[in-house]
Amino acid sequence: MLKNKRYIIIILSVLLYVVTSCSTNKTSKKIVYKRVENKVTKPVQPIKEEKPTVTTAIVKKAEVFKVDLPQINREFRAAWVATVANINWPSKKDLTTEQQKEEVIKMLDMLEANNFNAVIFQARPSADALYKSNYEPWSYFLTGQEGKSPLPYYDPLKFWIDESHKRGIELHVWINPYRAHHSSGGPVTSESMVKKSPSNIVRLKNGMYWFDPADKRTQNHVSEVVKDIVTRYDVDGIHFDDYFYPYASYNGGADFPDNTTWNEYKRTGGTLSRADWRRENVNTIIERIYKEIKSEKPYVKFGISPFGIWKPGYPSGITGSSQYDELYADAKLWLNKGWVDYFSPQLYWPINSTGQSFPKLLEWWKSENTQNRHLWPGLNTVEVKVSDRTAEITNQVKMAAQILQNNVGVVHWSVAGLTKNPSMLNYLKEGPYKEKALIPSMTWIKSTPLEKPNLYINSKPSALTMNWNDSKPSNNISKWVVYSRYNNDWETTIVDGLITSETMPKLKNGKKLTAVAIKGVDRLGNESDYTAVKID
């Protein structure tokens, strides 16, 4: 019993000491920090509450600082990458997976280094797929065998998207809505849509196969292909080119063989002429695709690059083929109706051409842009017929900016005109593409205003790190614009939406870092208000 009493006394003494010690520590943090300075090996818990080595500028302090930030450049700088017949990528149909990836990376590195901000990638050249499609076979141009997937397996479209986004480049998926089999696409196999859907596909005299645009099954199939891509992939745009009803030369000058659907139309009381009926078939799919994309993902752009001449004589003095009468493509109507987010007529002729004048055609298309959509002409960077192609294309880029004034841009046909012509890249990089640029915003698409980003500053003796985050994750940030001011001169950098920090020296070229700022840009191109911090 006595022994037990001794134990009780010892336990009570220990408890009294612990209570007294804890009470002392809670009432005086100064003592705690002094003990840290004396290198006490086991500091008490409050030490973890403070981080005196980090200087933090919180958002409240940042909001007090108002500045006039420089305006960021806005311009669409894109290149087409053709996969049909292995025109641009992959360079051969029997490359290994790693060789294909190496070509992608080299191409995108080149575009990034020269301040391009978009690539238009042909993921469906002819009712086939350079991605894991739910509706069509793997492309012959990818593996040399229709229906055969890459080995080792990867999804080329996803790879293109991921690598583009890492470099701040938008990826637009280019598809041909009606071409069912290309003459250079190898034999027609059991995997081909020609075999799987023969009743709405016709054979042309040049060996190509074409979907009948009037057939409802064709229209539904094109819709399903587009929705499948938009739903499953993080694309920035869907792009159609100039192939609607085929060029007459594809069928030896003979009329398009659509008697079955034309006779059915007449039998059920149709009153349009055959030409107007064909144009209406194409109009229907253009309007449908635009609305379906916006219903699924409003920020995904829909672009079309039609043949550059609507009709001869529009404007006065223009000669050449008529897409309205030959391809049954009423591209002027699509632009007038606003069924596109951007419109890239293929103006593949020189500035000084008489019958197909680049500036006259661009001015005319501008006059037809009644819905104020983006008008970004296509340029023939590969083979425009002039003695000095480099100077011509550079001048066309500058002339397009002068004519359009706001929300400017062009698309280069094709990336080969850049990869195979270093002087072209140099002219563009030292001239109109000298600074990086954001893609112009789509103001006609309804969006939620962006909130200011939260900004924190970690300061060290020779450098400063900006850390930020989106205060509202649903903002769907695509890019960040980072500003740094040295003395009174601002510098800007555009970084990918996944990046959340940037480190900069406190002294640069003899100038002192005096302020930093950040703003977000969403997938529609809208900018948030800025958050800025003054650096003492």
Burial class (CB within 10 angstroms; exposed 0-12, middle 13-18, buried 19+) of 214: buried
State what percent of residues in the chain have pLDDT above 70: 88
**Is residue 32 pLDDT above 70, yes or no?**
no
Q: Which of 335, 330, 397 is nearest to 372 (CA)?
A: 335
**pLDDT tier at 336, thresholds 50, 70, 90:** very high
Q: Are residues 376 and 417 in the same domain?
A: yes
Q: Is residue 121 part of a domain?
A: yes
Q: What pLDDT is attached to residue 292?
A: 98
Q: How far is CA 435 from CA 112, 400, 488, in A?
A: 11, 17, 20
Q: Are residues 122 and 209 in the same domain?
A: yes
- Count of structural domains, the chain: 2
Main-chain phi, psi angles of 174, to 5 degrees: -95, 125
Where among 430, 465, 485 does a domain terminate?
430
Q: Which amino acid is at 118?
A: A
116-139 burial code (b ≥16 CB/10 A, e <16): bbbbbbbbbbbbbbbbbbebbbbb
Q: Which residues contact 71 (CB under 8 A, 6 or more apart)?
A: none
**Is residue 454 pLDDT above 50, yes or no?**
yes
Q: Is residue 7 part of a domain?
A: no
3-state secondary structure of 508: strand
Q: Are residues 328 and 473 in the same domain?
A: no
Q: Are residues 293 and 353 in the same domain?
A: yes
Examine residue 414 and say whether the peptide bond preceding it is cis (omega within 30 degrees of 0): yes
Q: Is residue 55 part of a domain?
A: no
- Give the C-alpha separation, 356 to 310, whole Å: 12
Q: Are residues 84 and 200 in the same domain?
A: yes
Query: pLDDT tens digits for 160-214?
Result: 999 999 999 999 999 999 999 999 999 999 999 999 999 999 999 999 999 999 9
Where among 430, 459, 474 does a domain terminate?
430
Q: Are residues 212 and 321 in the same domain?
A: yes
Q: Which residues contact 374 (CB under 8 A, 6 or more apart)?
A: 76, 341, 342, 343, 407, 409, 440, 442
Q: Are residues 324 and 419 in the same domain?
A: yes
Q: How far is CA 447 from CA 101, 234, 475, 495, 527, in A?
A: 36, 18, 9, 22, 11
- Give the C-alpha separation, 436 to 260, whole Å: 53
Q: Are residues 402 and 509 in the same domain?
A: no
Burial class (CB within 10 angstroms; exposed 0-12, middle 13-18, buried 19+) of 514: middle
Q: Are residues 386 and 522 in the same domain?
A: no
Where among 396, 430, 464 does a domain terminate?
430
Q: Are residues 94 and 218 in the same domain?
A: yes
**pLDDT tier at 23, thresholds 50, 70, 90:** very low
Q: Which helix (H) or strand (E) holds 211?
A: strand 209-211
Q: What pLDDT is attached to residue 536?
A: 82
**Is residue 10 pLDDT above 90, yes or no?**
no
Q: Are residues 270 and 183 in the same domain?
A: yes
Q: What pLDDT is attached to residue 12?
A: 43
**pLDDT tier at 475, thresholds 50, 70, 90:** confident
Sole residue written with tokens 């009470």? 23
User: Which residues, in sequence order, are bridge partners of residue 120?
Assistant: 80, 172
CATH of the domain at 510: 2.60.40.10
Query: What rounded mean pLDDT belongs to the chain?
Result: 90
Q: Is residue 37 part of a domain?
A: no
**Is residue 246 pLDDT above 60, yes or no?**
yes
Find the domain containing 209 and state its range.
75-430
Q: What pLDDT is attached to residue 489?
A: 97
Q: Is residue 16 part of a domain?
A: no
**pLDDT tier at 58, thresholds 50, 70, 90:** very low
Q: Are residues 418 and 477 in the same domain?
A: no
- Give the C-alpha separation, 420 to 329, whole Å: 33
**Is residue 331 pLDDT above 60, yes or no?**
yes
Mean pLDDT confidence for 237-247 = 98
**pLDDT tier at 472, thresholds 50, 70, 90:** confident
Q: What pLDDT is attached to residue 470?
A: 80
**Is residue 61 pLDDT above 90, yes or no?**
no
CATH of the domain at 195: 3.20.20.80
Query: pLDDT tens digits for 353-387?
Result: 999 999 999 999 999 999 999 999 999 999 999 99
More confident residue, 471 or 154: 154
Query: pLDDT tens digits for 286-314?
Result: 999 999 999 999 999 999 999 999 999 99
Q: Is residue 241 part of a domain?
A: yes
Sole residue written with tokens 């930093």? 516
Q: What pLDDT is attached to residue 50?
A: 37
Q: Is residue 34 part of a domain?
A: no
User: Are the CB atoms for 348 and 413 separated by under 8 Å?
Assistant: yes
Query: pLDDT tens digits for 248-263?
Result: 999 999 999 999 999 9
Q: What pLDDT is attached to residue 46?
A: 41
Q: Is residue 9 part of a domain?
A: no
